[in-house]
Chain A
Amino acid sequence: MSALPAETPLSRTPCGTLWVEVSRATCGLRCSGALWLEGEGALIAGDLHLEKGSARAHLGALLPPYDTRSTLDALEAELDRLPVKTLILLGDSFHDPRAVRRLAPDDAARIAALATGRTLIWVEGNHDVRQGESALETLPGEVVEAVTLSGLRFVHEPRAGLSPGEVAGHLHPAVRVSSHGRSVRRRAFLTDGRRLILPAFGAYAGGLNALDPAFRGLFERPPIAAALSNDKVRALPWSSLRPD
C-alpha cells in the first residue's frame, strides 16, 4: 500500500526525507527533525527549547547564547524550502517561562515573523508554562493544548499507553547504533505506524535513548526509529538500537 507521492517537490530537495504512514496519514520525516504534512501544507517541529543556553546564566553558567538563532536558522530554512501554510510548534518551544524576556531583540523579531503569511500554532508544553507563568502569552499566533489535522492529534506530551493517531514530542528520542566497533548517536523519530514521536528540534536540546523505560508501553509493536543524519533520514530497526 505504498501511498507515497511518486513525484513530490521533496525529492528535489537536498534532504532525504523519509515517508511513512502514520494512522493512514502520509508523513514526511525531515532531516531537520520536523514533520511535513504535504497535503495540509503543515510543518510541525517539537521541543525548540529556545534560550536554553541562557537559562542558567544567573548562576554563572554562561553557555554560548547562540542556540536560539541556530534553532531559528534551521526552522527558517525549512520554511524557505516548503510551502508552509501552517506552522505547529509542538510544545517546549521555550526552555522556561522567562525565556522570552532573555531573547535578543533581533531573535524576538524573527520569532514574531514566523506568523507572517501563515497560521502559527503554539502547543503548550511543560517548559513553556510553569506555575501559572507562560512564555507564550505575548507572542503572535494561537496557543492551544492540542490540535487535530489530517486525522492526527498533535499534543506535546505523549499519552501513556497506546494512543493511535497521536503525534507528540516531549521525550526527545535519540538512538545509538554501532558497527565496525564504532557507535553513533543521533536524534530520531519513533513510529509504529500508529503514533509518532518527534525528535527535539532545538539546537541545545539533549536526547533520550529510545530504549529508556520512558518509551515503554507507548507502542503496539517495536517501532521503527528514523535517525537524522546529515542528508538523509535513516530508518533503523528496533533490534539494531543500543543502550547508551
Chain B
Amino acid sequence: MAARPRRKPDAEAPTTPPGALPPRFADWFAGRGWAIRPHQLEMIEAGRRGEHALLIAPTGGGKTLAGFLPSLIDLSMRPPANDPRGRGVHTLYISPLKALAVDVARNLEVPVAEMRLPISIESRSGDTNTAKRQRQKLQPPDILLTTPEQLALFCAWEGAREYFADLKCVILDEIHVLHASKRGDLLNLGLARLQAFAPTMRRVGLSATVDDPERLRDWMSPSTPDRVTLVQGKAGAEPIVDVMIAGGRIPWSGHHAEHAMPDVLKQIETAKTALVFVNTRWQAEFAFQALWAINDDNLPIALHHGSLAAEQRRKVEAAMSRGDLRAVICTSTLDLGIDWGDVDLVIQLSAPKGSSRMVQRIGRANHRLDEPSRAILVPANRFEVLECFAAREAVAENALDGDPAHPGTLDTLAQHVMGVACSEPFDALELYDEVTGAGAYRDLLWEDWEQVVDFVSTGGYALRSYDKFRRIVKGADGRWKVRTADIARRHRMNTGAITAAGTINIRVGGAKRSVGGRKVGEAEEWYFEQLTPGDTFLFGGEVWRFDGIKGLDAFVTPARDKDPKIPSWGGSKFPLSTYLASRVRRMIADEQDWGRLPADVCEWLGFQRDRSAIPSPKEMLLETFPRGKRHYMVGYPFEGRLAHNTLAMLLTRRLERLGVGPLGFVCNDYAFSIWSMRPMADLDLDALFSQDMLGDDLEDWLNESFMMKRTFKACAQIAGLIERRMPGVEKSGRQVTFSTDLIYDVLRKHQPDHLMLRTARIDASAGLLDVQRLALMLERIRGRIRHIDLPRVSPFAVPVMLEIGRERVKGSAEDMVLAENEADLVAEALWMDGAVDTVGE
C-alpha cells in the first residue's frame, strides 16, 4: 500500500515542500529515500482544511497511504488523553474485503512503528473473536479497519452514537467496486449515520480510475458533489498489451481457450510471477488442470478463487508474497487490493468483457507507476478476438466502461431502518432527512419512505394481521423503537447485504458419515442440484466423485478419473460491456480495419460478407435459415448474454402466439439463436422486435421465472422478512429456498404490489435481465433490422449454433423432467398389475 522506493531517482519527482509535513513525517519519507507524491500532499491539505476528499489514482500510486496520512499526522499531534480509557475511534477505514482490511492494518503498522507514533490500530471482521470485540467496544483503537457489514452492525448497536462521537475521519477504500451495489447502499446509509453522530467527520474516498468521477463524488457527498474535493493521482506508464493468437489459429467457439494452453505456459515461463485471470471459477479449475497436464517442468502454478476454503487461499497468497509461485490462476478474487509479491505479467484467458475490469487487472502487474505493466489477452474464439482487440484499444485510450445507474434499494433501506431502531429510538422525519443525505437515496420519495417504515414495523401487508406484533413501535414521544430486546438481537444476527446464492460446503468423506471430513471449499447450491451421486467433477484442481448432500455439506471422495463427467458451465458471469460491444460492432463494420486482425478471423469476416452480410454499426443483422428439420433465426445484437436471454425468452413467447412453434433458444454475448418447427423468414420483423414486448410479456414471464424467485429471496433476506440466521437454529439454505418459493407464490397472489415484490422486480430487471439495455437496443434497431434469408447457416452463426446442446432445458421444461421420469415407470410399474393409469391420456 505504501509509496514504494523508486529504483532510479525520478528527475521530476517533487521534493517535499518545507513545512508541508511535520518533521517526523518528513524525516521518515527522507529516511526511506521517498519523495511524497503530489496527490498525497493534496490529500493532506484537504485534511487540514477539514474537507471531504475523493482520491482517484491507479494501482501502485501510494493511494492507501494518501488516505491515511492526514489521520496519522492529526493523531501524531494530539495531546495524550486525560481519560485513562482513552478516546473514541479517530479514523474508521472500510474495505470491501475482510482480507484487505487485515492487510492494510498490517501495512499501516510499519510507518507507525518506524515513526514511533502513539497510535493504536486494529481490524475487525466477522471472524474477530468475542474477547477482542468486547475490548474494542470498551477501549476503542485510534484507527479501526473493517467492512461494510460491520458498519451496519455498529449502526444497530445500542450506544453507537456515543461510541462514534469522537470520530474524525472515515476512509472508504475501493469505492468503485462498492458504490453501485447493495453493499454500497448499506455503506452509504452507514456513512450518513456516522455523520449524524460526528458532524465534523471527514469523508475520504479512495478509488481506482473510473469513467465518471462525478458519480462517485455525488455518492460519497453529504449533499452536492462539490462538497467533496477531487484529487487525481498521476496516471501510470502506459501498459503493454498483446492479443495472443495461440498456435496461429482461433477456434470457432468455446470459452476456455484450451487451444492456447501451451502458449500460455510458455509465457508463464518468461515471467517472474504471472497472474492468469479468468472470468468464472469453473474456468479457473479448467485452466489449472489444463496447464498442469502439460507442465513438464513442474513450475509452481497455483489456483485462487472465491470458492476455495479461506485457509487454502491464505496459503496461496503467502506463497505468492514469498515469491514461491510462478503463476496463479485466479478469478476476480485477486482483482482488488493488496499487491501480492512481484507480479510482472497479467494474462487474461478468454475475453475480458469490460475495459474497466481489464485496466484494473492489468494494474495487478508491476505495482510501480513508472514502469509499464505487461498483459496478454488470450481470446477463446473468433468473436472474442474482436473483443480483445477492442479491449486493447480501450485500455490504450484509457476509455472505461460506465456503470449502469444504481438508485438506492429499498430492501437495504429497510434493514438500515430496523438497525437504527435497534440502536436508539428515531423520529421518522429526522431519519428521512438523514437518509436522503446519503448519495444513493438523495431522490427517495416520502411515500416510499413511509412504506419502508411501515414494512419494517408491520410487514406492510394490506391485511393488517400484525398490528399487535409490530417489530418497531411508535412511542408517546413520536419516536419509533424496537419492540423487544429479542427482536433487536435477531436483527443483529441478520445484518449485511451479501446474499450470494445458497452455498454448500464441499467436504471429503462418504455421504454415510454423519460428521464431515476436511472442507475443501464451497460452491453454489445449484451446481450440486445437477449432480447425481457417482458423478465426477473438477474442484480445487482435483477430480472428485460426488457422493451426496447432507444438510449444508456435499460429500465427495477423490476420483481417479482424469476427465470429470460433468462439464463446467462455459459462459462468463460478466456481460459484455456496452462500451466494448459498440467498439466490436464498429470494428466488424469497418472493412478497412480487418487487415490488422489475425488471418483466420479476417477470412471468417470475408466469408460472412460473401455469404450473408456485414451489418453497419447501427444495424442489427438477423439471419433465417433451415437446418435439418428445423428453422433457425439468429440475431447479432452484441448486447451481452443477459440481455440476449431476456430478448430470446420474450421473442419465443411472441413466436408461440404467431403459431411458428418455437422449440428452443440459445445465447452468447454476441448473438442469440431461436429454432422453430415452421419458417420465420416471412414474419413482420419490425413488429416482432417492437418495444412493447417489454410491457405485459415481460411482466408475465418475469412473474413465473425462477430468477424472480431467487431475487425475491435475496431481497426478503436483506429486508428482514426472512431470517438467514435464527438464534439456536442453523437453518439450511435449502430449507429457506423451499419456503421462500411458497411465500413468493402466496404473496404474489394476494398482494402483487407488496414492497418486496416491487423491489425484487426492480432488481431482476436491472441485474439479471438487463432490461434497460435491451430497451436501448430495441430503440437502436427500430427500422434497422437487416434481415437476410439464407439457404444454410452463415459463418457468423456457427459459434452460437455450436452452443446448442450445451444448454440445459429451460423454464417450462420442468414438467418435462417429471414426464420423462414417468416414462421410466412403464417398465417398472408393471408390478402393480396395471392398477396405475392416468385419466384422460
Structural contact, A4 and B814, CB atoms closer than 8 A? no
Contact with A along B800-820 (1 / 0, CB 8 A): 000000001100011111111
Structural contact, A16 and B548, CB atoms closer than 8 A? no
In the docked arrangement, what's the CA distance between A184 and B814, Å? 6
Residues of B within 8 A of A21 (CB): 835
Contact with B along A169-201 (1 / 0, CB 8 A): 000000001111111111000000100000000
Structural contact, A203 and B746, CB atoms closer than 8 A? yes
Structural contact, B838 and A232, CB atoms closer than 8 A? yes
Pick the residue among B808, B832, B840 that contacts A11 (CB under 8 A): B840
In the docked arrangement, what's the CA distance between A65 and B491, Å? 20
A71 smallest CB distance to B (angstroms): 9
User: Quick check: which of A125-133, A142-150, A234-242 contacts chain B, the rest being far away?
Assistant: A234-242
Structural contact, A16 and B818, CB atoms closer than 8 A? no
For A, the interface residue count at a CB cutoff of 8 angstroms equals 61
User: Does A215 sit within 8 A of B, measured CB to CB?
Assistant: no
Nearest residue, chain A, Cβ from B469: A57
In the docked arrangement, what's the CA distance between A67 and B529, Å? 28
In the docked arrangement, what's the CA distance between A227 and B742, Å? 17
Known: A65-B466, A182-B530, A243-B548. Is A234-B749 also a contact (CB below 8 A)? no
In the docked arrangement, what's the CA distance between A224 and B483, Å? 50
B228 smallest CB distance to A (angstroms): 38
Contact with A along B84-122 (1 / 0, CB 8 A): 000000000000000000000000000000000000000
User: Does B77 sit within 8 A of A, measured CB to CB?
Assistant: no
Residues of A within 8 A of B723 (CB): 61
Residues of A within 8 A of B548 (CB): 243
In the docked arrangement, what's the CA distance between A67 and B837, Å? 33
Structural contact, A54 and B465, CB atoms closer than 8 A? yes
Structural contact, A240 and B824, CB atoms closer than 8 A? yes
Known: A16-B839, A17-B839, A66-B463. Is A180-B828 also a contact (CB below 8 A)? no
Pick the residue among B466, B749, B838, B839 that contacts A62 (CB under 8 A): B466
In the docked arrangement, what's the CA distance between A58 and B822, Å? 44
Structural contact, B821 and A237, CB atoms closer than 8 A? yes
Nearest residue, chain A, Cβ from B832: A193
User: Does A118 sit within 8 A of B, measured CB to CB?
Assistant: no
In the docked arrangement, what's the CA distance between A29 and B808, Å? 31
Nearest residue, chain B, Cβ from A238: B828
Structural contact, A203 and B820, CB atoms closer than 8 A? no
User: Does B747 sit within 8 A of A, measured CB to CB?
Assistant: yes
In the docked arrangement, what's the CA distance between A232 and B458, Å? 38
User: Does B735 sit within 8 A of A, measured CB to CB?
Assistant: yes
Structural contact, A178 and B532, CB atoms closer than 8 A? yes
User: Does A138 sit within 8 A of B, measured CB to CB?
Assistant: no
Structural contact, B817 and A177, CB atoms closer than 8 A? yes
User: Does A117 sit within 8 A of B, measured CB to CB?
Assistant: no
User: Does A63 sit within 8 A of B, measured CB to CB?
Assistant: yes
User: Does B461 sit within 8 A of A, measured CB to CB?
Assistant: yes
Pick the residue among A67, A221, A236 that contacts B821 (CB under 8 A): A236
In the docked arrangement, what's the CA distance between A8 and B745, Å? 32
Known: A1-B833, A65-B466. Is A237-B825 also a contact (CB below 8 A)? yes
In the docked arrangement, what's the CA distance between A239 and B823, Å? 12
Structural contact, A62 and B469, CB atoms closer than 8 A? yes
B214 smallest CB distance to A (angstroms): 40
B241 smallest CB distance to A (angstroms): 37
In the docked arrangement, what's the CA distance between A232 and B483, Å? 47
Nearest residue, chain A, Cβ from B819: A234
Pick the residue among A53, A60, A184 that contacts B471 (CB under 8 A): A60
A10 smallest CB distance to B (angstroms): 6
User: Does A162 sit within 8 A of B, measured CB to CB?
Assistant: no
Residues of A within 8 A of B459 (CB): 62-65
Residues of B within 8 A of A19 (CB): 836-839
In the docked arrangement, what's the CA distance between A65 and B462, Å? 10
B761 smallest CB distance to A (angstroms): 16
Structural contact, A204 and B743, CB atoms closer than 8 A? yes
A206 smallest CB distance to B (angstroms): 6
Structural contact, A236 and B838, CB atoms closer than 8 A? no
User: Does B834 sit within 8 A of A, measured CB to CB?
Assistant: yes
Structural contact, A70 and B743, CB atoms closer than 8 A? no
Structural contact, A236 and B822, CB atoms closer than 8 A? yes
B409 smallest CB distance to A (angstroms): 19
Structural contact, A62 and B829, CB atoms closer than 8 A? no
Residues of A within 8 A of B742 (CB): 67, 203-204, 206
From 507 to 537 in chain B, residues with beta carbon under 8 angstroms from any chain A beta carbon are: 529-530, 532-533
A158 smallest CB distance to B (angstroms): 20
Pick the residue among B458, B471, B484, B834 that contacts A1 (CB under 8 A): B834
In the docked arrangement, what's the CA distance between A170 and B44, Å? 69
In the docked arrangement, what's the CA distance between A21 and B834, Å? 10
Structural contact, B835 and A184, CB atoms closer than 8 A? no
Residues of B within 8 A of A177 (CB): 817-818, 821
User: Does B725 sit within 8 A of A, measured CB to CB?
Assistant: no
Known: A180-B813, A185-B738. Is A64-B746 also a contact (CB below 8 A)? yes
User: Does B739 sit within 8 A of A, measured CB to CB?
Assistant: yes
Pick the residue among B809, B838, B839 that contacts A8 (CB under 8 A): B839
User: Does B560 sit within 8 A of A, measured CB to CB?
Assistant: no
From 728 to 778 in chain B, residues with beta carbon under 8 angstroms from any chain A beta carbon are: 734-735, 738-739, 742-743, 745-747, 749-751, 754
Structural contact, B463 and A104, CB atoms closer than 8 A? yes
Pick the residue among B747, B750, B824, B836 that contacts A20 (CB under 8 A): B836
User: Does A141 sit within 8 A of B, measured CB to CB?
Assistant: no
In the docked arrangement, what's the CA distance between A182 and B821, Å? 12
In the docked arrangement, what's the CA distance between A159 and B449, Å? 54
Pick the residue among A62, A204, A229, A242 that contacts B815 (CB under 8 A): A229
User: Does A207 sit within 8 A of B, measured CB to CB?
Assistant: yes
In the docked arrangement, what's the CA distance between A2 and B841, Å? 15
In the docked arrangement, what's the CA distance between A59 and B494, Å? 14
Residues of A within 8 A of B734 (CB): 244
Residues of A within 8 A of B721 (CB): 62-63
Structural contact, B465 and A234, CB atoms closer than 8 A? no
B528 smallest CB distance to A (angstroms): 10
Residues of A within 8 A of B817 (CB): 177-180, 182-184
Pick the residue among A57, A64, A181, A182 that contacts B743 (CB under 8 A): A64
From 701 to 742 in chain B, residues with beta carbon under 8 angstroms from any chain A beta carbon are: 721-723, 734-735, 738-739, 742
User: Does A109 sit within 8 A of B, measured CB to CB?
Assistant: no
Residues of A within 8 A of B532 (CB): 178, 242
Residues of B within 8 A of A179 (CB): 816-817, 820-821
User: Does A102 sit within 8 A of B, measured CB to CB?
Assistant: yes
User: Does A18 sit within 8 A of B, measured CB to CB?
Assistant: yes
User: Does B446 sit within 8 A of A, measured CB to CB?
Assistant: no
Residues of B within 8 A of A8 (CB): 839
Residues of B within 8 A of A182 (CB): 529-530, 808-809, 813-814, 817
Contact with B along A194-227 (1 / 0, CB 8 A): 0000000001101100000000000001001001
In the docked arrangement, what's the CA distance between A240 and B834, Å? 19
Nearest residue, chain A, Cβ from B749: A70
B526 smallest CB distance to A (angstroms): 9
User: Does B297 sit within 8 A of A, measured CB to CB?
Assistant: no
In the docked arrangement, what's the CA distance between A232 and B463, Å? 33
User: Does B549 sit within 8 A of A, measured CB to CB?
Assistant: yes
Known: A237-B821, A237-B828. Is A2-B835 also a contact (CB below 8 A)? yes
Nearest residue, chain A, Cβ from B827: A237
Known pairs A20-B836, A60-B487, A243-B548 / 14 extra A-B pairs, C-beta < 8 Å: A8-B839, A17-B839, A19-B838, A57-B465, A63-B743, A64-B459, A64-B743, A64-B746, A104-B465, A180-B809, A182-B817, A232-B815, A237-B828, A244-B734
Q: B-side interface residues toward A, CB under 8 Å?
A: 458-459, 461, 463, 465-466, 469, 471, 483-484, 486-487, 490-491, 529-530, 532-533, 548-549, 721-723, 734-735, 738-739, 742-743, 745-747, 749-751, 754, 808-809, 813-822, 824-825, 828-829, 831-841
Q: Please list the 7 inter-chain residue pairs (A to B) with the smallest Cβ-Cβ separation, ordered nearest first.
A: A62-B459, A60-B487, A57-B469, A65-B465, A66-B750, A64-B747, A181-B530
13 pairs, CB–CB < 8 Å, chain A vs chain B: A18-B838, A54-B466, A62-B721, A64-B743, A65-B463, A177-B821, A178-B817, A181-B808, A182-B529, A224-B832, A229-B818, A240-B821, A243-B549
